Amino acid sequence: DADVTQTPRNRITKTGKRIMLECSQTKGHDRMYWYRQDPGLGLRLIYYSFDVKDINKGEISDGYSVSRQAQAKFSLSLESAIPNQTALYFCATSDSLSARTEAFFGQGTRLTVV
Amino acid sequence: LAKTTQPISMDSYEGQEVNITCSHNNIATNDYITWYQQFPSQGPRFIIQGYKTKVTNEVASLFIPADRKSSTLSLPRVSLSDTAVYYCLVVGDNQGGKLIFGQGTELSVKP
């Protein structure tokens, strides 16, 4: 089983619908992140969380919200999906106590908004 | 925040050594330099991290000059499977602990 699991892997939704992307991890890490990636572009940080009670906006948080339900779970919501939110979404985790700042990524969720 | 700048793309041939340079002029004293590799439709994967001078592991070497305003990722004898996007990140408390990925360098290895 993967250390960082994203569900669903693929999703097609209609404009205006609410959708939630889920991420769970078994690594015991305290830090979790959500990124989006558009074709030919790098990853852009949407939200990040350093512990259960800590939520921070990233570079592009407008139109998104998150919930850190437990140390192992971090979900991303699109309250009212729009076509330009069509992208590949990645969840990642890292350990603040590690001397090496290594992030572990999930397999990605490919979201299409029509 | 320390901004990183690296070439958008590079081409190489199998068996060659590839050096990808990243500039990070605003790096702070406590920041580290980290490199990731990403294959299509996969999440990035950590390659190497360093603070100064040279770091080497089984995958790559990382060269950091004394002023730390740049770093060079060196991939020895690349193969077709090294075709990927490579990201340089500056990480540390000065970045608020965030992991900010730039556009990366798309490396294409040809036979």
A106 at interface of B, judged by CB pairs closer than 8 A:
yes
pLDDT at A1: 62
B94 or B63, which is more confident: B63
Residue-wise pLDDT tens for chain A (114 aa)? 679 999 999 999 999 999 999 999 999 999 999 999 998 788 999 999 999 999 999 999 999 999 999 999 999 999 999 999 999 999 999 988 776 778 999 999 999 999
pLDDT at B30: 86
B40 at interface of A, judged by CB pairs closer than 8 A:
no
Contacts of A99 (CB under 8 A, 6+ apart): none
- Nearest of A106, A94, A71, A55 to residue B32 by alpha carbon: A94
Contacts of B65 (CB under 8 A, 6+ apart): none
Residues A109/A86, Cβ–Cβ less than 8 Å: no
Cα-Cα-Cα-Cα dihedral of A51, A55, A57, A63, to 10°? 130
Distance CA A27, CA A6 (A): 14
- CB–CB contact B103 A42 (8 Å): yes
The bridge status of strand A109-113 relative to strand A10-13 is parallel
Contacts of A54 (CB under 8 A, 6+ apart): A68
- CB–CB contact B101 A42 (8 Å): yes
Does residue B16 register a pLDDT over 80? yes
3-state secondary structure of A81: coil
- CB–CB contact B101 A33 (8 Å): no
The bridge status of strand A19-25 relative to strand A4-7 is antiparallel
- CB–CB contact B91 A101 (8 Å): yes
- Nearest of A16, B70, B99, B71 to residue B61 by alpha carbon: B71
A105 at interface of B, judged by CB pairs closer than 8 A:
yes
Cis ω for the linkage preceding A8 (within 30 of 0): yes
A84 at interface of B, judged by CB pairs closer than 8 A:
no
Span B41-85, pLDDT tens digits: 899 999 999 999 899 999 999 999 999 999 999 999 999 999 999
B100 at interface of A, judged by CB pairs closer than 8 A:
yes
Output the CA torsion sign for A17, A59, A33, B7.
positive
- CB–CB contact A105 B99 (8 Å): no
A63 at interface of B, judged by CB pairs closer than 8 A:
no
**What is the residue type of A37?**
Q
Give A90→chain B minimum CA distance, Å.
Answer: 7
Name the phi and psi angles at A52, rounded to 5.
-60, -35
pLDDT at B1: 66
Contacts of A98 (CB under 8 A, 6+ apart): none
- Using CA coordinates, name the residue in chain A closest to B105: A42
